[in-house]
Amino acid sequence: MYVPNDLRYDSMQYRRSGTSGIKLPAISLGLWHNFGGVDNFENSRAMLRRAFDLGITHFDLANNYGPPYGSAEETFGQILKKDFLPYRDELIISTKAGWDMWPGPYGNFGSRKYLLASLDQSLKRMGLEYVDIFYHHRPDPDTPIEESLGALDTAVRSGRALYVGISSYNAEQTATAVKTLRALGTPCLIHQPKYSMFVRNPEQGLFDVLETEGVGSIVFSPLAQGLLSDRYLNGIPSDSRAARDFFLKKKDIGEATLAKVRALNKIAERRGQTLAEMAVAWVLRDPRVTSALVGTSRVSQVDDNVGALANLKFSVEELRTIDDVLVGKPSA
């Protein structure tokens, strides 16, 4: 029987999501990869256990995480039943719908039919009565935003979700979404954008909207699909995502990019951190970021990501040097 660490809340940092009553761990665990039906169940189970032992209380899923689609939620449901049911009220469990999930016109994007049917399926796969956060995973250009967000409102009013969020909405879309949800009486808890040293789009207005509206943010891919780690210091490993052209593409990793990775690694070494730790710390430097959403493939990586919390402070000079590296100036 799994018994969690009694000291699990002593060292983790928790940050308030906007102006809400919810605090999230500074590090959250995403189940996008390595928790599907093709993956080793006991390894998935060990990573979730270790995460909770370290104070990670937020597990982030989506309907089509796997592979195959839906299997990450099934895996999580099995582990929840075996290990975490006594601690359900200590957990924040989220899922999403918005990307392709099943064939035909009703299994994608943002119709009311798709979003609520998907949520019902997710709850069944995980063996839950409700999720803590239900997200619209991406904006739908062809469905009125009132319909998509009305479905989120229904999810809360029906008891299938406690809070709602959005993901990958730009600044203008986010401002509209926040106002629409507020008018419905179901405020937007959180936004999930892609953000890292290599992807800084949220700095161009999105974070400002979130701060003004009192909405939290949980940023995904803070390691840029692993590029901001020691995996690529000597080129592209044969077993890496880039080598398989799996989201991270070989064509996008030229020598100029690798030179930046090596220069950033030198900065991390001077800070007493690994590059991955510094990359996580860097996104958390912004007080508008509630949590960094990380993915792991082995238990040791859970510890590595939490290790970033040991040094979250950056000097003005460090930040300036990092910016110089990112724009291609000679590294220090």
Question: Given this model, what pLDDT does residue 245 score?
Answer: 55
Q: Is 215 left (phi over 0), alpha (psi -120 to 50) or beta?
A: beta
Question: Given this model, what pLDDT does residue 329 score?
Answer: 82
Checking DSSP bridges between strand 92-97 and strand 27-30, what pairing results, if any?
unpaired
Question: Given this model, what pLDDT does residue 237 score?
Answer: 67
In DSSP terms, 164 is beta-bridged to: 134, 188
Distance CA 197, CA 217 (A): 16
Buried b (16+ CB within 10 A) or exposed e, 205-235: ebbebbeebbbbbbbbbbbbbbbbbebbeee
Question: Given this model, what pLDDT does residue 79 score?
Answer: 98
Distance CA 294, CA 213 (A): 25
Number of other CB atoms surrounding residue 173 within 10 Å: 17
Residues of the chain scoring pLDDT < 50 = 243, 332
For the stretch 26-58, pLDDT in tens is 999 999 999 999 999 999 999 999 999 999 999
Q: What angle do CA 305, 80, 280 make, to 5 degrees?
A: 15
pTM of the full structure:
0.95
Question: Given this model, what pLDDT does residue 253 score?
Answer: 82
Question: Given this model, what pLDDT does residue 14 score?
Answer: 98
In DSSP terms, 291 is beta-bridged to: 218
